[in-house]
Chain A
Amino acid sequence: MLSQFGIMFLFILTAFAFIGGILLFGKLLRPDRPTEEKLTTYESGEEPVGNAGVQFNPRFYVVALVFVLFDVELVLLFPWATVFGQPTLIAETGGLWGWFALTEAVVFVVILALGLAYAWAKGYLDWEKPQPQLPTVATKVPTTLYEQVNERYKRPTTP
């Protein structure tokens, strides 16, 4: 007898077989004349530069870690929600239960928010912006002249 998972398994097998069959079919039919342009990753698109396995800026990790932490902590609200909505408890306490449970959840979230506020105030969430080095050129032309030129050929601002 085929269990429910057995059906899923057959489905997965069929899917793989189908994809393989189509690719094989195309390979047999199509003409094969590769050129350098055709073989690039994005044909008539962006020129890929460097290796795909480059290292990311470690600052991504800090933000990601902070995110994961606060994201996962919210899982605790699931069991809370099941207790929060229990009709018997609400009926027993005459509606007071809802407020009590809500207060507890708010306390929980406030503590988490304090943690986030701490990380924020410490500056861990600030993105270090690259500071562009403005080139200084020794020139006799005063800067006001450049500004006049800029002013004259300024692009008309769209209304």
Chain B
Amino acid sequence: MNPSLSYSLLFVAAALFSIGLAVVITKRHAVVVLMGIELMLNAVNLNLVAFSQYDPSRLQGQVFSLFVMIVAAAEAAVALALIIQVYRHVKTVVLDELTDLKQ
């Protein structure tokens, strides 16, 4: 194991993940939140591929990252459809302005 390489990659992935997390928590526009989530997923991909080098014969991590990509695409498709649908009703996708469910 080469600890220095592993840790630097881990830090980059953790930083990406945290940025995504911060975007999800602070931004109020649905599309921007979606972008934050994608950032989090990509951080995971980076981690998986980085760790996969210690597992060179089976490459499980890389295969897993392919699954993550595919699922992320499917999720994004559903999300955009939902966002368009909400926009048709209220002409906004700013989450703070969607208060119809609050009690």
Contact = CB atoms under 8 A, between A and B. Distances in A.
B66 A78 contact: yes
Helix, strand, loop or mixed for chain B's interface? helix
A69 B77 contact: yes
A72 B69 contact: yes
Interface string A49-87: 000000000100100010011001101101100000000
A138 B69 CA distance: 61
Contact of B70 (A61, A65, A72): A72
A76 B70 CA distance: 8
A78 B67 CA distance: 11
A111 to B, nearest CB: 14
Contacts of B73: 68-69, 72-73
Contacts, number: 28
Nearest to B77: A65
A69 B77 CA distance: 7
Interface residues of B, number: 13
Interface residues of A, number: 11
A79 B66 contact: yes
Nearest to B62: A79
Contacts of A61: 80, 84
With a 10 A CB-CB cut-off, give which of B59, B77, B80, B84 has the most chain A CB atoms. B77
A65 B84 CA distance: 12
B63 A79 contact: yes
A10 B55 CA distance: 34
B63 A73 contact: no
A68 B84 contact: no
A68 B66 contact: no
A69 B74 contact: yes
Nearest to B74: A69
